[in-house]
Amino acid sequence: MVQIIVCSDLVLDHSALESYDRVFDLLEEHHRWFRESLPLIASENVSSPAVREAVASDLGHRYAEGWVGERVYAGNVYVDQIEQLCIDLMKSLFDAEFVDVRPISGVTANLAVYTAFSDPGDTLMCLSIPTGGHISMAKKRLGGTAGAVHGLKVEYFPFDEEEMNIDVDEAKKKISQLSKDGKAPKIGMFGASVFLRPHPVKELAETIKSVGGTVVYDAAHVAGLIAGGVFGDPLRDGADAVTLSTHKTLFGPQRGAILSWEKHAEQIKRGVFPGVTSNHHLHTLAGLAVAATEMLAFGEQYVTHVVRNAKALASGLHDEGVDVLGEAFGFTESHTVIADVTKYGLGGDLEKKLEQANIILNRNLLPYDLRHDRHFTNPGGIRLGSLEVTRLGMKEDDMKEIARLIGRVIVKGENPAKVREDVKEFRSDFQKIHYCFDTAKLAHEFLRFE
């Protein structure tokens, strides 16, 4: 293998060709590692070879600013048909009147919606980061998109830590107080990055609308669960718009989308372009169209298994002695599991140990961490997701085995290198990708052009 020696900012002793080889060597290494690992990051999934083929197409070289049929560029004869197909597929997947598939990520979708429905200085109401909120909803002080980029003032929904959900009565009181103070929320934003149970959209939508607010639901994490009918129906419950990422519970490449109603279409379209995109990454748009067909065919069955697996993983960890949050309601109703690991160490330290054992998950703030002076760099929690392991064909018994492997590292304190050998062995039986149309390629195979 080519060794590149980096000495201060001088790169010595390599030619462009060696660096070229090095990039591919690193890609091969990454793929090999993931083939031998347990990918449990709750915001990640693996897309099918068909989706990856679309992503590698010529569309990644093209521009198509504007709406289908009204482009600012030539050369979009087929792009227009693919984008229209993608819109139609997403409409039927979510039973949505209007869909904009141009946002290039979940954050971009949120920013487009802020642009469509609010002005700088307005109030956004959402969850705080320790209670599950995402940085794209956060205050300027934290560098969050809502505050730092769109100038929104951020107010938090009151949160019930036992129920791990928004406290409806307290939220109603807070909204009416904010309204009296002349700070009524212009946007009430549901959705989260630690999202165990459906949020009370139906219960709060009228209150938000009665003070002049727009109801938005950030489904970045749970879009696939909603499409598969296992996590509520925010559009029918009163949401004006739903933003999403396409690569968490959905099967797509990394991208975003906005679902809404015809009456909001023009506002949202302008928010997306010229608001927050120019080029909208047409190769991943094509990938999303393919992913949407897979979701329509296999989504319901997939997300049903995802939720079952998350529950099995949570109860398996609980059996190992790990403090999984939400025991009172069966730990989770989604793909996500969150555990307090402070009995054994801190989330950041344990994340690294687990990574050495080829168990890939992430540290996470717990709702009460800040009160205990714990911060994001080394919080008290870990977050796990069942998305990718489910797509690899694993079932509930396999979740119990994963819980035991995790328990060996964090509860029993076994050497991660030793556990890694057993992780590799266990994973060797799960190389195929499931819930997609037939393919001869493997889930984490590095696809080469010969």
Binding site for ligand PLP (CB under 6 A): 43, 105-107, 110, 134, 136, 191-193, 218, 220-221, 245, 256
d(Cα 133, Cα 116) in Å, to the nearest integer? Answer: 21
Nearer to ligand PLP, 245 or 332 (CB): 245
Q: How far is the CB of 137 from ligand PLP (least distance, A)?
A: 7
Identify whether the C-beta of residue 74 lies closer than 8 Å to the C-beta of residue 277.
no
The rounded Cα 209 to chain-centroid distance in angstroms is: 27
> For ligand PLP, which is the closer residue by CB, 59 or 109?
109
Closest distance between ligand PLP and the C-beta of residue 428, in Å? 30
d(CA 357, CA 98): 45
- Shortest Å distance, C-beta 216 to ligand PLP: 11
Q: Smallest distance from the beta carbon of 136 to ligand PLP, in angstroms?
A: 5
Task: Report, in Å, the least distance between residue 192 CB and ligand PLP.
Answer: 5
CB of residue 410 to ligand PLP, shortest distance in Å: 24
Calpha distance 164→166 (Å, rounded): 7
CB of 239 to ligand PLP, least distance (A): 14
DSSP code at position 276: I
Alpha-carbon separation of residue 372 from 27, 266, 427 (angstroms): 40, 46, 37
CB of 353 to ligand PLP, least distance (A): 25
Q: CB-wise, 224 or 416, nearer to ligand PLP?
A: 224
Closest CA to 321 of 397, 407, 434, 249: 407
* Structure tokens, 214: 């727009």
> Which residues make Cβ contacts (< 8 Å) with residue 83, sequence separation at least 6?
64, 68, 101, 282, 285, 289
**Is the CB of 138 or the CB of 175 nearer to ligand PLP?**
138
Residue closer to ligand PLP by CB (options 357, 384) is 384
**Among residues 47 and 105, whose Cβ is nearest to ligand PLP?**
105
Residue 193 or 362 having the CB closest to ligand PLP: 193
Is the CB of 76 or the CB of 260 nearer to ligand PLP? 260
β-strand pairing of 214-218 with 241-245: parallel
Q: Closest CB to ligand PLP belongs to which residue?
A: 106
The angle that helices 347-356 and 396-410 make with each other, rounded to 10 degrees, is 110
Distances (CA, A) of 235 to 134, 172, 185, 259, 350: 21, 20, 19, 8, 39
Q: 366 vs 403, which CB is nearer to ligand PLP?
A: 366
In contact, 102 and 273? CB cutoff 8 Å: yes
Residues in CB range of 377: below 8 A, 6 or more apart:
348
Angle at 295 between CA 93 and CA 280, to 5 degrees: 75
**Helix crossing, 77-94 with 282-319: angle to 10°?**
30
Return the residue matching tokens 């009160």: 371
Q: Which is nearer to ligand PLP, 191 or 224 (CB)?
A: 191
Minimum distance, C-beta of residue 8 to ligand PLP, in the bound complex (Å): 34
| Smallest gap from residue 364 Cβ to ligand PLP (A) | 11
